[in-house]
Structure formats: C-alpha cells, structure tokens
Structure 1
Amino acid sequence: MPSAFGLGNRMRARHLITVVAIVSFVAITITYLRRPLYVTGRDGSHLVYDTGSPAKTFEPLELANNQAHPVDQLIRDGETRFSALLARQSQTLEEAVTEYQRRYKIQPPPNFDRWYEFAKRKGIQLIDEYDNIYHSLLPFWALEPATIRGRVREALGFGDNNLMGLLIRAGGVTKIENGQEWLQQAVLGMIEDFVQFLPDMDLAFNIHDEPRVVVPHDELSRMVSTAKDVRVPLAFANSHPTNAFSARPRDVNDGKRIDEVKTTRFNVFAHQPTWTHSRLSCSPNSQARSLEDNAVDNATSYALGELGFIYNHTAFSDICNSPSLSSTYGFFDRPNSFNVVHDLVPIFSQSKISSFQDILYPSPWYWYGKVAYDEKRDIDWQKKQGKLWWRGSTTGGFSRNGGWRRQHRQQFVRKINDPYKVKILANTGEEEAPHWQPKEVRRADYRDIVDVHFSHVGQCDPGDCDAQREFFDIVKPSDQQDAWKYRYLLDIDGNAFSGRFYAFLESKSLVYKMAIFREWHEEWIKPWVHYIPLSMKGDEWLESVRYFSGEEEGKIQAPRMAEQGRQWARKVLRNEDLEVWFFRLLLERGHEVRENSAPLPIASLGAPSNVIVLRDANLPNPTSEPHAPGPAPELAEDVGPFKMRKSLGAEQILAMIEEEQAVPGQDLVNDRIDELRTQHGLVGESWTTGDKFRSVKGALTEAYTIPQLARYIRIWDANQSLGEAVGKRRSHVASTQAISWSAWRLGSSNISKRIPDQTEDPAQQSMKEMPRKEWLAERILRNCWGIGPLDESYVQGEQEVCLNDTQMTLLLSGDRGNFERTGILPRGSRRKVEIYKPHNIVRVTDTREGCRTALDLLYKELVNTKCLEVDSRIFLPVAYQQRKKKSKLHRGLREEDLKMVAGTTRTHIAYSVSQDKVE
C-alpha cells in the first residue's frame, strides 16, 4: 500500500502538470486570438515562409522552415496577401479609372461611371479586382466587331447548339430563348437594374455544365498578341473618345427574333475522352503538350513540401501544368456532355477549365438560391462533430468500361477511406523548438475524423454502375442541411462546379475545396484565407484535416478561419455582388462589339451634365474644390422638397403647382422672394460675392418660415419638371440665361462627388451643420437660382461653362462651319473644339486669351438667339386626354403656362398658335 506521503506527491505532480497544460493552452490561445483578422506583412506582397529548390525537376518546392507547420505558414501568407489586397482598393472614381488604366493599358468602357455608382450603391468591397474579365475578353479585341456579332448570331441560330439566347435592344431585353425557366428568370433578374446602360447586343449562354470553346494555342497566342500590341494601344490612343455606345449596327436585327442558321461549327463528343481537345490551347512547351506519354506534372508551380500542400491555386487549376489529369479527372475521361467549338465564339459559361476560352459570368445557380443555407439549422462550432463530411453522386464524368476508376470523385472517396498507410506531419522537436517531419501512419487510425461517402450512383453504363455500388459503401441520401452538423465540409467538382460552395462558406463550418473548374469569384475568395484547398494527388488530405482537429494551434485556427470565411462570404457573395460583377462584364463585352465606341477617359470628362469646357492649354489644372448643395438636415414631412415622379404628365404637374400655390399667402411669398433675387442683381448670374451671397441668404432666413421656403422650392422643382414634360420639340432655341461658371472641373473632378451625400467639399460640409431654415435658404440660392459665392470658385486656368439642354441643342444643331462663322473656331487657329454629345459638353482648348474669346462668343451666340417656337399641335393630344379623362384641370396648356415655364427655366418661349386652337 503506498504511503500517504507518496500519494500526495503524485497528486501534487499531476496537479502541477494540469496547471502547466492549462497555462500553455491559455498562452497559445492568447497568441492566436491577438492576431488580426488579416495579417499585414511589411510590404504586403512577400511570402511569409522561405522555400528551397525542389529535390528533382517539377517536384514540389521544399520548405526551408520546419519549425512552423506548413498549414500555419500558408495561412499567414494568404492572410498577408489578402490584407494588402484590401488596403489597395480604390476609394474614388478617379482612383478606379487610374488603376484601370495602369492594369489594362486602356480607358474604361462607356458607362463606367454608371457602373462605379452602381457598385458603390450596392456596397461592393473590391472595386478593382476584375482581372478575370480582362483576360477572358482580351482575345476578342483581335477580331472585328462585326465578326464577333456574326459568330454569336450563328451560334444562337442553330437550335441544337444548346445555348440560351438573350437579345438587348434600346436598354431592355426584347427576346430570351431556350434554357430552363429558372435560368431565364435568374439571368433576367441579375441584369434588371442595369440593362438600361447596356448597348444593343446578342448574348449566348451555355446551358450545359461543361465548357464549350477551346482555341488552338497558335491561333490564340496570335489573337492575344494582336490585341495587346495593336488593338488595345490604338483604342487607348484615341483622342476623341465618347462615353456612349455607338448606334445599333445594320447587321443587328430589331431584337424580336433569333434568325435560324442551317449549319454549325460546334462538334459533339459526348461520352468520349476530351484531353486531346482540352489541351489544344496549352503552350507547346507545357507539360500537358509534352511529346512523351509519361510526362510528369509541374508540381513546382503549385505544391509545397513532401505532402504537396497547394500554395498557388491558380497554377494548380491550370491543366497545362498537369498531364496526369488526363487519367485522374472525370471531365477528361468521358464528360457527360461535350459540344465544343475551336473558333473564338463569345459563349458565357458559369465555370470552365483553364484552357477554355468561355467567358465566365456569375452563376445564376447561386443568384437563384438553388442550394440555400438555412442558418436556423446550423449549430455552433463547439457542438459540431469534428469530421470532414461529404455526400454526393458519382458525377464528374460518364463511366464506361471501368472509367470510374479514373474519375476524380471516385478517386477521392476511395483514397480518403483507404485503411492503409499514409503520411502525416509530426512534431519531433521540443516545445520551444518544434520540428515538423513526415511520419507514416495507418489511415484507418483516423477514421473518426472522416465521413465521406457516395449517396447515389449515376452517369454510367449498367455494368459500371453495378461495379461502383459493389466497390463503394453507398449510404442513404441526406438532407443538404445535415452538413451543418460537421466542422469540416468538403466541396468537390462534379460535372463542373459543384454548386454548394457558397452555402458552405456561409455556414459556421470550415470549408475544404478540391476544384479544377474555375469560377468568376477566383479573385475575391482566397485559399488559406476563406477555405482550405486540396490537391488531386491527395498526399496532404489527411494532414489538412488532422492539423485542425488534433493540434492545439490548429484547433484555435479552425473556428477562426470558419468565421472569417463566413463573414467575408456575407460581404462579397450576395446577389448584389454578382450583379455588380456581371454589370462590369457586360459593359466590357459591349464595347468590343460596337463600332466606333472607343471607351471614354472618365477621369478627364466627368459625369453627364450640361457643361461646356474652356481649357487653357498653357496652364496646369486648378486645385480648388467644387461647390454643390449639401445634404438636407432632418425636415418634417410637410416641408420636404418636391419630388417629381417621372410618370406624371404635364397636366398633373400643373395641378400640383396650383395646389401648392393655393396655400394662403404663398403667391405673395413667391413674388417677394423673386423680387429679392432681382433687387440684388442675381438674375442670369451664377456667381456673386461671398458677402452678397450671405446677405441674401440671411434675408431669406429672417423674412420667411420653413414651410414658406419649402413650398417655394417645391413649386420651383415642379416648374422644372413641367418644362421637361412639355419641351418635346424645338425649332429654335433661345435663352436669357448667362453662361455660368461651374465649379465642376472636368479634368480632375470625379463622378462620385456628384452622388448625394458623398461629397465632402467645404460647401457641403458647412451645410451639414446648418439649421433647417438656413439649409432651405441656401438651397434656393444654389439649386433654384444656380448661384454660388465667388470665394468657392476655382483658380484661373481651366474654366467651365454650364449650359442647359436647350442651349446645347442650339450649339449642336450647327456644324463646323457654324463655329467658324461665329468665330468660336476660326480658320487657321490652333484652337481645339471637342463636342461630347451624350454629356452636353463642348471642350475648347486654346491659350488663356483664346479661351476667353471663345467664352465671349459663345455667350453672345446664346443670348442673341431668337426664341423657342412651340407648335400648338404638340399639345392637342394633352388637351384631348384631359377632356377624355374628365380631369379636374379642365384646360390644356395655355400661353401663361408656357410663360411660367420660361420664367423658371430662364428660356424665352414664343407661343405660336396654329389654326388648330387649344382649349
């Protein structure tokens, strides 16, 4: 019997060991929890681990540091790089354009400003990461737009090509044909909010899982060279760009039909080997194009250490590096369907193999929510089972003559459940000096951390189906939501992408992914940051799970990475994110197929507006800030600004104006406010002294109440809308509005400053802090009267002139001779006049004196113009509709109504009555 003394010593020893273990665990936990979500390296780009040359050619890189586990090193490296990517994103439109030009050596496409505004409004996280779009579309730059359009028509016109056709005309979808109903509805829903900004074009969508286009390497490389060396630089050098797509070409129909074609250049090879076809675009010097049958994979480009952890997923999924895929991946053995073309045809696919030239787009499968994540059925990490879980079918290829043995899903399920020997990494060093070395173990000893089984057998000849049922332990199908019971979830390619990835990422589990097929999100979802990548060979599979389930540091990292991936997926895999990416893709696609639609240098032109630019060619750009109306402070609903619905007609707007003016005393208030403007000489002006600006503002604030000022603004806004409603046709344009200085400096302004609540210039900053009445008074000055204080104007050098639509109509109705006759563009001078019709912009470049001269001549041309003649017949239908509907407003548009419009818009209107009179 042991003595009490000895027993006590042993108890104290065990107690001491327990205390030490607890302290060690706490120390490790604190160390990892103190790490930021994304680790930032010194330069944000370097590897955080050191590597050595491979032992043999094409073998994996050697890790120089064995003191840290390879998984830990890869996580740190991935998070360092990702942190740098987040930090360098553009914050303004101007920065986004500059970054676009730096990356792609070309200007952004037309309507890039619209896309940027759309992306910001949708809360996009990554504004610059769209390299996949550039690389997908680059070869098409080598083709004439008519050639691209013709190939799309040909592809859609042959019924058995298995393509969904979508035709866009005049900012809307006019035809959609083929494809399942859910696919049609999803694509229509994805483009609904931005289709109005797209040009007329025909789009062909692949309705198969498998990709469709692979171009031989010699032809593809020639097209890429032509695009990079000739077409793109030529477009970049265009000195007369435009922020609009060209008119619909003659070879594009009205969009009501898809014309039938009798022949096709697609070839069908279903249930046949495809490796020979698939590697056609690989370089002749690549391993996939080796002359030898036993060529080895170039693992040096993507694998790390003896177990082959994936350090470069892009290189791993590049089939040109891996000839072994010909006998280990289902798509190359016998795809379930394969309808391929070897000419460059623009086909949109949801995923593709690296060697294919399909254009990737965000999958409607995800947007439509075909595999949903039910958060209510998910459980916390601590309650989940510590196993790698997967259930699925034997998809990935069609099995014939035992072909299932060469397909990736079957190989994974077989290997991961193989009871025989496998290598893991064991720490053979001391606690303060760890040393990780490969160690051979029995895989059967780790069955408790793997639960991977087939639940269905399909896509096979009867004999092959029976053989698989006999070989594999087929389990009952499970509910997709059952996956949330497990800590580690496997996503693996099927016939193409699996379709479960987003749901897995949204869950509270850690995601593992084995994928050769590429999707649109490759730049947004990163390996070792948001998921764990797995190789095809499989030497590292078990260790990738064992590290997180068995090592203390791994047990801490696993839930942190799961939550990290979950939070990021909620930010960048929303339907809104897919729409923004798709919008960008279709804009880029659009200007490739349009004639003479060279992209616009947005940064130097600004947003669409009524502006004439007079630029002094001898002076640098100014640096002052623009002035603009600030955001409104909180206002009661009854005094909010007038908001005009586009659907309202002229008679309805008139009724609203009369309703506002019917408030007792408001007519008198409006007249007195207008008199105040006249008394201070502000009619026809756009700038005044700072003292006068503040004096008038003070007079408005002291003399009138908040509701009176608000009604004045509402009536003003309504009159502006009425002017738009009735101004349908103009034979002559006249204006009593002086050319006004504008603080929008085309050449350095950015469009985001035009978006409400985003400008941070001094004028807006001061207005944010104003009381309600002051804000309304300042809005009358700035918005209604178009007046700004001179102390906000910019320095001399680059000047702008703000004109309304009618004034621009006059200028653009003439020709070069008109400009020469008026002296705006004298013959033989070096003065440059550029007209940007979609923006209502005329840019004049000359010396300072020349710009001043042009400014004066433009002013005289506009002020001395005759008048706007309105034919009464334009308004007859309006009067008729009023009588037909028995509107409360029992009259048409009278002369006094047009005068009211003229007084508000500062445009002189002559009302000429024809023999048909208006009631």
Structure 2
Amino acid sequence: MFDTRRKSLTTLLEEAVPVQSKSLLSPEERHRIQLETYQLDPIKATRLNERVKSPLADSPAHFDDSYDDSGKSKRSGVTPTFRVPRYRLLKLWRQILSILTVAGTVLVFLQDPAVSGSRIKGWNQWPQVSRTELSLRGQRRMSQRIRSKDGTSMIGDHSARFGVVKVNPDSSVHPIRLLIDDSERQWTEKVAKQSKTLKEAADEYHRRYKRSPPKGFEKWWAYVVEHNVPLPDEYDQIQRDLAPFYSVSPNKLNKRIEQASKSSGTFTLKVAGGNVESYHEYDSKIVESGEQRPQHQIELIQPIAHHLPDMTIVMSVSDTPQNMLSWHHRSELLNRDDQDDFFDDDKSSDGVNGFAWACPISSPLFNAARHKKKESKSGLHDLSAKSFVSDLREYMNICNHPELLEQHGLLIGKNPPMESPSPVFSLSKTALHADILGVPTEQWVEGGLVPAWKDRKNDKILWRGSNTAMHHDKTVSFENSQRLRLVNLTNYGGNGDLVTLSPNVGEQSLRDGATVAHWKGINEDQMDITFTGKPLQCDRNDGTCDKIARNYPFSNKRMGHDEAAQYKYVIDVDGNAWSARFNRLLTSGSLIMKATIMPEWYSDRIQPWVHFVPLKMDFTDLYDVVAFFRPSLTNPHAEDRLASRIASAGREWALTHWRREDMTAYMFRLYLEWARLIAEDRKSMDFVYNVDMESRRV
C-alpha cells in the first residue's frame, strides 16, 4: 500500500527536489514523478514546437520540402528533421505537393499494396516496410484501399474490425455466443499443432522468424520436456520485443547496457559461470521492492542459470515502461536485410514526441485530429453502438484505438519522446512501447482449494482495489482514468435507463429482445465495486485527494480470502501498469472479466473468451457481459453454464500454464535470445540441430 502521509507530488516539485535526491524518495513518489514528467524537458519541447506540430494538432504538420512525407530525407546522408515552412515558401510547397501526388499515384501501382496498410497484424505487429517509401498521399490512398478490402471481418453476421466486433441489432445470434465458439476452436487448434520434438520446434521457429533458434535451444527444449511446459511454440512476444535490436551492433548494444546499468531506476543481473548476481545504484532501503525484485528474478532463473551463456541483463525497477520508438525509426530498424551492416541510429533521432509518432501515418491515432468525428453514441444506451472485444491483442493496439489515450492512466496527458532502442527489460509495456517484456512475479500463487461454482453464495460483480492508475491533480483529467471510471460507472453511473442484450433471443432479433432497465437499480442489484482505504497518488494541496474522497466510495472493511471466494464474478482492471492480481484471481475459480491494454508474457499462451472474458477499457460492454452470464429473476435464461465453464477453464489454465516452471521457461528462452544479440559474432550463437539432442514431449 502507498503511504498517504507522505508529501504530495506538487509539494515535492515546489520544493525543487534536486535530481540527485530523487532516488531518496519512496517508490510511489518516484513513480508519481515519473508519471507526471513522462515527456520532453521544457527546453527541448520549446525547440520541438518551433520545428513541428504534433500529428494530433488541429491542422496537419507541414514538412520541409527537402524531405518526403514519411520524414525520410531525399538526400542520402541527411538526418531526417521536420520544419514548418514559412509563408513565402507556401506557393513552392503546393507545387511540390502536386508533383508528389502524381509520383505517389504511379508508385501505388508499382509497390506491394500490403506495405502501407494501417492494419497491424501477424506475429510482428511492426511489419517491415519497403525501402522505396511512398509519398504521404500515396500511402493514404493505398491504406484506404486496403482498409476497404481487408480491414473488416465477419463473426456470424456481426462485423469486426481492429479487434472489436460491432453488434448487428437485426441478428438473432448473440455475438458473445459466437465469440466463445470461435475462441474455443482457435484454442483447440493452437494446442493441437504444437511441436512434439526438438526438430519440429526448430523448424517451426525458423518458419515463424526466418532465422535459426539461438544456441542452447536444445537445453531449453530439454527443460520444456522435463517440466511438461505447454505451448512450446508460442513465444512470439519475445520476437516482437527483440526484433529492433538486430539492427544495432553488438558493440553499441553492450555500451548501452553498461550505461543503463548505472541508472538509478534499474538493477543489473550478471550471469557468469552458471551463477547469477545482482547489483544496483539505488538505495534499496528506500526503494520499495528494490531488494525483492532483483531477488525474485534471480530465483526465477537460478534453476537454469548453468545453461545460460555469460551475459548482463538490465531491468527497470519501476512498474511502468519507458522506451518508445517512432514508426519511421522502427521501420528502418526492421528493414535491415544485411545484418553485417548495422544501423547507426544515434544519428537518426526523429526529434518528435507523442504516442501518435509511434504509429504509421495511415493509422487512426496519427490521423485522430485530422478526422475528428462527432460525439459517438454510447453502447450503454444505443443498440447500434454496442460492441465487444473479439481479438484482445488487436484491441490493445493503440494505433488503431485512439480513444484509449483518454481512458487509461498510463496514457492520459503523457507526451513521451521517441528514442533509440533501450536494452532495458521491464515488467510491463503497451503495444507501442519498445521495452523488452520480462516476467513479474508479484502476487503469484500456486493455488489452493476453492468453492465449487454451484456452492458460491454471492452473484454480484466484485472489485476491490486502490485508486491507482496515475497521479491525480488539477492539471490532468484524472476522472477519465480506468479505475475511477469503473467505480463511478457502477455506483453513480446515471439516473437514466440502460439497454442490454438478451442472452437468449431465440428467433427474435437482438433489437426485439433487448431489455431496458433503470441504471441505478441495476447497479444496486448487480454491482459490489468500491475503493479500499483512502485516496492515493493524489495532490492534497490542490484539494484533489479530498475531491476523490467525496466523489467516490471507499471502504475500510478488509475482505478476506474466504469471503472473496464466494463471489462468482470478479473484475480485473489495470492499475499503474499491469494487473499483478490476475494470476491470483484466475486461480480463485471465479469468472474473471478483464480490462487491459498491457500485453504480457503469457498473452500468446492464453485464450480470451475461453479462460477469461475480455472487457473494453470504456466498460460500455460490462452490463451486456453481465446480462449474458448472470441469471436473475428478470434474466432467467442467462448462460450460467458457460460462465462456470470459462471460470473452471481459467483456473485450470493458471494451474497448468502459469506455474513457476512456465515462467522460468519463458525467461530461459528470452535470455538465450539476448545472449545471441549481445555476442560479438551473432552467427556463432545460432543453434545447429543434431539428432543426438532429440527428446519428445508427451
């Protein structure tokens, strides 16, 4: 728990805490300062404003005519920069745009139409781009064609796009029923096609990633076989995280590791001769978890340390991710065909900041301000606006969901700079962050006995937690953060009516079977959601803490494990970063409804709608999800059987796929990959198959 007796962030900043003294602050104070100062320094920001407008500005940014619309220089050897043209150049600029329009149109027919699509898909959500880049208009035209042909899929007679299925009110089949059926099929197929032998695993690795596995792959495979680690092919997250580093030379990468190890916000693991040691620059007596997190990571890999090459690993001690790459920079890094010719990214800083720059120019986020829409209808009240998460990984792609910037505390008000790849492992990240994702172990449990579904006495929807997510003060829209919105929605959501879909419409359409009920009555009947303790991470001096205490319900009653285990339905929602309680909640045997934008190490190894129910971050689908699964006197046909099945599958998954051995297997494979990246001769660290290494999974 955070200590609310400490000074507020505003007080600390007003007292002008020296940089060198920040390490003396408590972890929550350091984290809060990091959250608020997660942007360019004022001097750099001032210079930047003179050079370019954010892509989220009301009007499009104009680029210097020496550079094409992607920001890449037309003259070789020139570092990309952006400038706002002076008025006297406007006429010339228009002439150049006309020429580029013609050239772009020609190039549209010469280039692969998949190059510039705004839809991000496949194991690598940051695909390679063509070396011959199209003009801005050419890319836009091409992306529009792709979106019209490939941007939408169908789930039954409901349309899906960017990981969200939009309800067709005229359909007679509930979309949740279709999502469950489709997800169960996907999960069955994924499990069935997993490699059974080392040779199969190596071949599948090469098929997916177009390179050989790392040296030591056979030792990792032996660990998988010995400990019956499931889904041995599903480690795509590692490739997503490490792909940009292949274009950075080992020499430069090791220099950056040395620099990062000296940071006050990191700890370093040193693997040498099969032993693992840790060291750090911060004062572990002051930094909460500053001693525990290094020790947890050592314990995680100690069983396999004797199989690891000597290496240095730098990990962030913070909850939150730090590193961002611009789309242009990432594309250049991923487009290196000759790995002997490394990319000198020190000389290619884009000099821009803001989440939109991490997205392709054709993406909804980059174009959010240029294509402002009228205030959309809410799925809480309007049948035609209802939607559900159909693909959680696609939904977490912020490039395609600009609305998430205003719904999650990690994103609200932040303006992160675009940097070079940082060799720092973090405990959490969004789809846009470039941090290397590790495995957090906080709140992990082995699981114990829990009540059977039919014996549980409480069918209300449970959530308890603190008001974490961001620093709360008058300078930010903290009311929009995910936890405050959830508590407000389910306690004081409104005095009007809610429209919910019927779980069993028969031959009726969803429109005809929809029910209307008073919002307040539904909350009183269904919801048991409140904050615990007192307001945290808020400014007392400007009255924010008092405002939160007045406007949101807080409970001082501590709920024990036995009492919580009586609830059938439980919500899990991100806090400052990832939700550390998800493992514990899954093992409880409750039906877990999870709202998140944070991909995790297991995201490719778990199936939404099979092991848990995904929620949108705006919670407009919450009441329809509850209506589908939770029976009541007014809703006797709800799918209690399906709710029980998902709850049971989630618990079984946590007990068989989220063991300590499974976490160790992930880090084992990740560190083998890392050892290859930092080796002076990377090719010497490739795995070579030998039949004598073979072993078979049961």
Superposition TM-score, scaled by structure 2 size? 0.68
Q: Which amino acid aligns with 2:223?
A: F
Q: Which amino acid aligns with 1:212?
A: Q
Q: Could you tell me how far apart the structure 2 residues matched to 1:375 and 1:174 are?
A: 33
Q: Could you tell me how far apart the structure 1 residues matched to 2:413 and 2:267 are?
A: 24
Structure 2 counterpart of 1:907: none
Identical-residue share of aligned pairs (%) = 26
Structure 2 counterpart of 1:773: none
User: 2:385 is matched with which residue: 286, 303, 306?
Assistant: 306
Aligned ranges 1:748-827 → 2 under 5 Å: 751-752=694-695
Change in Cα spacing, 1:122 to 1:57, as seen in structure 2 (3 Å) is closer
User: 1:425 is matched with which residue: 489, 494, 501?
Assistant: 501
Residues 63-91 of structure 1 show CA distances to partners (whole Å, capped at 9, x for unaligned) of 49822221111111111101000000000
Q: Which amino acid aligns with 1:540?
A: D
* Residue aligned with 1:203, SS: strand
Give, in angstroms, the shift of residue 176 of structure 1. 2.8
Structure 1 counterpart of 2:273: 170
Q: Which amino acid aligns with 2:486?
A: F
Residues 816-846 of structure 1 show CA distances to partners (whole Å, capped at 9, x for unaligned) of xxxxxxxxxxxxxxxxxxxxxxxxxxxxxxx
Structure 1 counterpart of 2:304: 194
Is residue 2:315 matched to residue 1:205? yes
Q: Could you tell me how far apart the structure 2 residues matched to 1:214 and 1:174 are?
A: 29
Structure 2 counterpart of 1:818: none
Q: What is the aligned residue count?
A: 514
* Residue aligned with 2:606, SS: coil
Residues 762-791 of structure 1 show CA distances to partners (whole Å, capped at 9, x for unaligned) of xxxxxxxxxxxxxxxxxxxxxxxxxxxxxx
Kept in 1, the 8 Å contact 2:271–2:311? The answer is: yes
Structure 2 counterpart of 1:498: 579
Give, in angstroms, the shift of residue 47 of structure 1. 8.8
Kept in 2, the 8 Å contact 1:101–1:107? The answer is: yes
User: 2:614 is matched with which residue: 519, 522, 533?
Assistant: 533
Change in Cα spacing, 1:202 to 1:279, as seen in structure 2 (3 Å) is farther
Change in Cα spacing, 1:47 to 1:81, as seen in structure 2 (3 Å) is farther
Change in Cα spacing, 1:323 to 1:296, as seen in structure 2 (3 Å) is farther
Q: Could you tell me how far apart the structure 1 residues matched to 2:653 and 2:566 are?
A: 21
Is residue 2:459 matched to residue 1:386? yes
Q: Could you tell me how far apart the structure 1 residues matched to 2:596 and 2:602 are?
A: 13
Give, in angstroms, the shift of residue 278 of structure 1. 3.3
Is residue 2:551 matched to residue 1:445? no
Give, in angstroms, the shift of residue 502 of structure 1. 0.4
Structure 2 counterpart of 1:217: 327
Structure 2 counterpart of 1:908: none
Give, in angstroms, the shift of residue 331 of structure 1. 1.4
Structure 1 counterpart of 2:262: 157
Give, in angstroms, the shift of residue 219 of structure 1. 0.9
* Residue aligned with 1:479, SS: coil
Q: Which amino acid aligns with 1:578?
A: M
Residues 511-536 of structure 1 show CA distances to partners (whole Å, capped at 9, x for unaligned) of 01000122111011221011011112
* Residue aligned with 1:168, SS: strand
Structure 1 counterpart of 2:34: none
Structure 2 counterpart of 1:611: none
Structure 1 counterpart of 2:367: 290
Q: Could you tell me how far apart the structure 2 residues matched to 1:588 and 1:59 are?
A: 33
Structure 2 counterpart of 1:772: none
Give, in angstroms, the shift of residue 187 of structure 1. 0.7
Residues 636-684 of structure 1 show CA distances to partners (whole Å, capped at 9, x for unaligned) of xxxxxxxxxxxxxxxxxxxxxxxxxxxxxxxxxxxxxxxxxxxxxxxxx
* Residue aligned with 1:288, SS: coil
Q: Could you tell me how far apart the structure 2 residues matched to 1:533 and 1:349 are?
A: 24
Aligned ranges 1:480-495 → 2 under 5 Å: 481=561, 482-495=563-576
Change in Cα spacing, 1:353 to 1:471, as seen in structure 2 (3 Å) is same
Kept in 1, the 8 Å contact 2:169–2:510? The answer is: no
Give, in angstroms, the shift of residue 479 of structure 1. 3.3
Change in Cα spacing, 1:47 to 1:473, as seen in structure 2 (3 Å) is same
Q: Which amino acid aligns with 1:443?
A: W
Q: Could you tell me how far apart the structure 2 residues matched to 1:605 and 1:533 are?
A: 43
* Residue aligned with 2:214, SS: coil
Q: Could you tell me how far apart the structure 2 residues matched to 1:341 and 1:176 are?
A: 29
Q: Could you tell me how far apart the structure 2 residues matched to 1:339 and 1:164 are?
A: 23
Structure 2 counterpart of 1:465: 545
Larger Rg, first or second structure (1 or 2)? 1
Structure 1 counterpart of 2:244: 139
* Residue aligned with 2:338, SS: helix
Is residue 2:590 matched to residue 1:509? yes
Q: Could you tell me how far apart the structure 1 residues matched to 2:224 and 2:234 are?
A: 12
Structure 2 counterpart of 1:77: 182
Is residue 2:545 matched to residue 1:435? no
Is residue 2:673 matched to residue 1:588? yes
Give, in angstroms, the shift of residue 600 of structure 1. 6.6
Kept in 2, the 8 Å contact 1:427–1:435? The answer is: no
Kept in 1, the 8 Å contact 2:155–2:165? The answer is: no
Give, in angstroms, the shift of residue 421 of structure 1. 2.2
Change in Cα spacing, 1:478 to 1:349, as seen in structure 2 (3 Å) is same
Q: Could you tell me how far apart the structure 1 residues matched to 2:519 and 2:154 are?
A: 31
Give, in angstroms, the shift of residue 134 of structure 1. 0.8
Is residue 2:156 matched to residue 1:50? yes
Kept in 2, the 8 Å contact 1:298–1:321? The answer is: no
Give, in angstroms, the shift of residue 448 of structure 1. 1.6
* Residue aligned with 2:419, SS: coil
Higher relative contact order (CA 8 A, sep 6+): 2
Q: Could you tell me how far apart the structure 2 residues matched to 1:196 and 1:103 are?
A: 28
Residues 450-476 of structure 1 show CA distances to partners (whole Å, capped at 9, x for unaligned) of 111111311111111111111112122
Kept in 2, the 8 Å contact 1:296–1:323? The answer is: no
Give, in angstroms, the shift of residue 478 of structure 1. 2.3
Give the CA RMSD over aligned residues. 3.3
Kept in 2, the 8 Å contact 1:334–1:399? The answer is: no
Change in Cα spacing, 1:149 to 1:532, as seen in structure 2 (3 Å) is same
Gaps of 5+ in 2: 1-151, 283-288, 377-382
Give, in angstroms, the shift of residue 605 of structure 1. 2.8
Aligned ranges 1:614-693 → 2 under 5 Å: none
Superposition TM-score, scaled by structure 1 size? 0.52
Q: Could you tell me how far apart the structure 2 residues matched to 1:558 and 1:89 are?
A: 28
* Residue aligned with 1:752, SS: coil
Change in Cα spacing, 1:600 to 1:65, as seen in structure 2 (3 Å) is farther
Kept in 2, the 8 Å contact 1:297–1:321? The answer is: no
Kept in 2, the 8 Å contact 1:377–1:484? The answer is: yes
Q: Could you tell me how far apart the structure 1 residues matched to 2:328 and 2:359 are?
A: 9
When structure 1 is superposed on structure 2, of 143-152 and 56-65 the one drifting more is: 56-65
Is residue 2:310 matched to residue 1:231? no
Give, in angstroms, the shift of residue 557 of structure 1. 0.8
Q: Could you tell me how far apart the structure 1 residues matched to 2:641 and 2:521 are?
A: 23
Gaps of 5+ in 1: 1-45, 235-263, 266-274, 608-749, 759-919
Structure 2 counterpart of 1:411: 485
Q: Could you tell me how far apart the structure 2 residues matched to 1:195 and 1:384 are?
A: 47
Structure 2 counterpart of 1:612: none
Q: Which amino acid aligns with 2:462?
A: W
Kept in 1, the 8 Å contact 2:163–2:389? The answer is: no
Q: Could you tell me how far apart the structure 1 residues matched to 2:267 and 2:559 are?
A: 31
Q: Which amino acid aligns with 2:661?
A: E
Kept in 1, the 8 Å contact 2:364–2:400? The answer is: yes
Change in Cα spacing, 1:554 to 1:474, as seen in structure 2 (3 Å) is same
Change in Cα spacing, 1:109 to 1:297, as seen in structure 2 (3 Å) is farther
Aligned ranges 1:34-49 → 2 under 5 Å: 49=155
Kept in 2, the 8 Å contact 1:51–1:64? The answer is: no
Is residue 2:438 matched to residue 1:332? no
Give, in angstroms, the shift of residue 599 of structure 1. 5.9
Kept in 2, the 8 Å contact 1:167–1:203? The answer is: yes
Change in Cα spacing, 1:373 to 1:394, as seen in structure 2 (3 Å) is farther
Aligned ranges 1:312-351 → 2 under 5 Å: 312-333=391-412, 342-351=419-428
Give, in angstroms, the shift of residue 328 of structure 1. 2.3
